[in-house]
Structure 1
Amino acid sequence: MTQFEALFDGRSFAAILFDMDGTLLSSIEAAERVWTRWAAQFGIDARTFLHGIHGQRAVDSVRQLNIPGVDPVAEAHAITLAEIEDVEGVHPIPGAREFVSTLPEGRWAIVTSAPRALAVRRLAAAGLKPPSVFITAEDIPRGKPDPACYQLAARQLGWTADDCVVFEDAAAGIRAGEAAGAPVVVITATHQRPMDTRHPTYVDYNALGATIRPDGRLQIRSQSTRKI
């Protein structure tokens, strides 16, 4: 039995909950440019922490650096403003636009650790429109890996998280989906090294499709699985 069959064969879902950066779009080049410039102000080599900034709120990343005398909230705000200005190279994950275009309104959500202004800016740069349920950093008291963000998205759509499927790319988000009780699919388009995960893993959306069953539930189909 393949990874896909183990999770999806004969299974349907009420809705799909997507992370944004690294899952629906790639902003890795722009984000790492901004964080590298910011870190240089404090004499920090950004290469020592860049791998950890993806998938969590900027304020949490700044706090983890424990820079003496630094206000994490103020610094995170400054980083966000710089990221809003720099969206060069932001682009959709292959097949993402086509995949979400097949989903009915109200049956999918975006759940991102980015502030709303930055999320809207990056979605526009990637040619994607936000869905009706759009959870951002301002909507939750604690960021990923806390499951509250995915639980909130599912609740706003009218279901529980364990009746949805989460699409993620980063460790913090994967843990959030797991903690919410949802099955998880990992998108690896932006990964520079293999990820050790028990979840079904796809490079992008080109092999994926979603159909609406007669009972109105979503079923995800794949031509193949590929793990990198």
Structure 2
Amino acid sequence: MTSGPGRPDRMKYVLFDVDGTLIDAVSNQRRVWETWAERYGLDADEVYRVALRTRPMETFAQVAADRDPSECLALLHDLEDEDVRSGVYTAFHGASELLHGLPPGAWALVTSNYEHRVRGRFERTGLPVPEVIVDAAAVEEGKPSPVPYLQAAARLGALPADCLVIEDAPSGVRSGIRAGMTVWGVNAAAAVEGVHRHFASLREAVPHILAWTSGPRGSAAV
């Protein structure tokens, strides 16, 4: 719960992206798309290059325009579900310490993936699961729309100004900024345009995130 407007003791919240931010899933995503491409006799490198910058349906339209998009999506979902069951996942260094160190009810996950896959990956990596997960099925507009982050804040009972977004990708950064939240970038050599603060790794950001949750409101963008 938040305190009254303008009070300095309002609770602060942290909203996390998942893939690329808390969990390193790059090799898994590449393997899934390579297998998908092989099933259709397509060039795996080209498919993955397109998939990195577009949503699945847009990827299908570019690389497999002659195929039924619903069939393409069904195969992709089957491959992703199998990868959650059998793939090897790694949490970024510092993720467990960070999530276990946050106050209960003070953080959420905001992902373009689906909740059952997130739960499967967290179970495989030993990460705690929060009460609030906003996934692809929860919103009609995904990142870079502000809707996913605004929904997470609403479900936590938080004001956007009291939320810190942790992201690794440009679309997620734009989503958080458009939601009126403070956005910190992690796990990239260079800062994503628009972030209020940049860290080369999640591990580097951990003490600052924990300090932010207990510090005076309004200090996040320093």
Scaled by the length of structure 2, the TM-score of the pair is 0.79
Structure 1 gaps of 5+ residues are 1-11, 223-228
Moved over 6 A (4+): 217-220
Deviations 1:76-132 (A, max 9, x none): 232122122124231101101101111111110000100122111112122112200
Q: What is the DSSP-based 3-state SS (H/G/I as helix, E as strand, rest coil) of the residue aligned with 1:38?
A: helix
- Which residue of 1 is the match for residue 96 of structure 2? 97
Instruction: State the Cα distance separating 1:75 from its structure 2 match.
Output: 2.3
- Which residue of 2 is the match for residue 180 of structure 1? 179
Deviations 1:154-175 (A, max 9, x none): 0000013232011011121111
Distance change in 2, residues 1:185/1:139 (3 Å): same
- Which residue of 2 is the match for residue 5 of structure 1? none
AA aligned to 2:182 is P
Higher mean Cα deviation, 172-181 or 15-24? 172-181
CA distance in 1, matches of 2:124, 2:35: 21
- Which residue of 2 is the match for residue 30 of structure 1? 28
In terms of fraction of residues, the more strand-rich structure is 1
CA distance in 2, matches of 1:204, 1:151: 25
Structure 2 gaps of 5+ residues are 1-9
Which aligned pairs between 1:112-191 and structure 2 lie closer than 5 A? 112-188=111-187, 191=188
- Which residue of 1 is the match for residue 214 of structure 2? 213
- Which residue of 2 is the match for residue 226 of structure 1? none
Q: Which has the higher contact order (CA 8 A, sep 6+)?
A: 1
Higher mean Cα deviation, 108-117 or 73-82? 73-82
CA distance in 2, matches of 1:29, 1:95: 20
CA distance in 2, matches of 1:163, 1:172: 21
Deviations 1:126-163 (A, max 9, x none): 21122000111110112111111000000000013232
CA contact (8 A) 1:13 1:165 kept: no
The answer to whether residue 72 in structure 2 is matched with residue 70 in structure 1 is no
AA aligned to 2:114 is P
Instruction: State the Cα distance separating 1:218 from its structure 2 match.
Output: 10
CA distance in 1, matches of 2:29, 2:132: 24
Instruction: State the Cα distance separating 1:69 from its structure 2 match.
Output: 3.5
AA aligned to 1:205 is L
CA distance in 2, matches of 1:56, 1:48: 13
Distance change in 2, residues 1:71/1:17 (3 Å): farther
CA contact (8 A) 2:169 2:192 kept: no
CA contact (8 A) 2:47 2:63 kept: no
Scaled by the length of structure 1, the TM-score of the pair is 0.77
In terms of fraction of residues, the more helix-rich structure is 2
